[in-house]
């Protein structure tokens, strides 16, 4: 009897990041680790210390660091790497591990909320500012 590799099972996600205003990029604390900073340093062709000071800031009360934010056109602030017009990550290939792992399930609560609000408002482009 031949041993076959198991057939890969596709997980069907029930969200579309391309239709979202990038809520996950507006978290107040997007934690970032040393490997993430190294990845960003390579991406931008700078040393670790430069990447750390330019793209991160201390996380209050913790030894960890978080991504810097800047003013946003929809929400108060958003990740410094968010393209505010396209609502997409400008460093997608070098994005931090936290961003790579999100969302960690088939569903995204933000996307579910967005779809619900758009249906309630009768506007396919509605963005709730909550």
- Cα 9 from chain centroid (whole Å): 25
Quote the pLDDT of residue 56: 96
Every domain of the chain and the residues it spans: 27-101
DSSP structure string for 106-124: S--HHHHHHHHHHHHHT-T
pLDDT at 10: 60
Helix pair 48-55, 34-44: axis angle to 10 deg:
100
Q: Would the pTM count as exceeding 0.85?
A: no
Looking at residue 57, its pLDDT comes to 95
pLDDT at 8: 60
What are the per-10-residue average pLDDT scores of the chain (130 residues)?
A: 59 71 87 95 97 93 90 91 92 92 80 85 78
């Amino acid at each position: 009897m031949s041993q076959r590799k198991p057939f890969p099972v596709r997980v069907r996600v029930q969200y579309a990041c391309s239709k979202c205003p990038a809520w996950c990029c507006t978290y107040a604390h997007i934690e970032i680790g040393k490997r993430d900073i190294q990845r960003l340093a390579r991406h931008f062709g700078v040393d670790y210390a430069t990447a750390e000071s330019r793209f991160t800031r201390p996380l209050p009360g913790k030894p960890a660091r978080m991504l810097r934010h800047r003013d946003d056109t929809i929400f108060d602030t958003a990740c410094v790497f968010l393209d505010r017009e396209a609502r997409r990550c400008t460093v997608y290939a070098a994005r931090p591990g936290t961003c790579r792992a999100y969302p960690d399930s088939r569903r995204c609560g933000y996307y579910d909320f967005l779809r619900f609000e758009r249906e309630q408002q009768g506007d396919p482009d509605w963005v709730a500012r909550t």
